Amino acid sequence: MSDKPLIRFSFFLEQFPELELPLNLTEETVRTISRETPPLSPRLIEQFILPIEPGQVTELTEFVACAQLPESDNFVGVIYWRADLAQYHYTLVTFDPKTEELIDRLVIAGTSFDGTELTQTNAVVTDALMIYQVSGQGNGEDYDYRASNSTARRFQVADSGKIIEL
């Protein structure tokens, strides 16, 4: 961490728009959101995202603040988009509003390509804080979505801020 003064947690949260739920997270969502919301600054990323984000971050990595979940007494939740070479993901993160510590983190949607297989996951976040996720995999050269090859999962953000698979 640098010698620069710390940024207030409330300022970090202000970067995340309060969007109406349900929210669909697809390939197109970040294009729509990023017209109104610029990428997060390097200082915000360094202070708030990097400590909770696994994996390497390079000069090509980009983060965009996508949404803030509705207000809760026990947690604050945000969704951000991370783009790297050959992959991007939407990540839901919950924090304790009093201590500003991480409660939980889950990649809920995105696309990745490992050189052979393309995996695409879309999600819907409902006003009851349910997350419905559908993933499909296919050959990267001639990707053809087939419902029979897809998987579905459900999660819920509990009152505690924990993200629970149902």
Residue 154, domain member (yes or no): yes
Residue 117, domain member (yes or no): yes
Domain count of the chain? 1
Euclidean distance between CA atoms 11 and 19, whole angstroms: 17
Residue 1, domain member (yes or no): no
How does pLDDT run across 27-46, given as a tens digit for each residue?
888 888 878 888 889 999 99
Residue 14, domain member (yes or no): yes
Residue 91, domain member (yes or no): yes
Euclidean distance between CA atoms 69 and 93, whole angstroms: 10
DSSP element (H, E) containing 151: strand 151-157
How does pLDDT run across 112-160, given as a tens digit for each residue?
888 888 889 999 999 999 999 999 887 766 656 666 678 999 999 999 9
Domain range enclosing 56: 9-165
Residue 127, domain member (yes or no): yes
Residue 2, domain member (yes or no): no
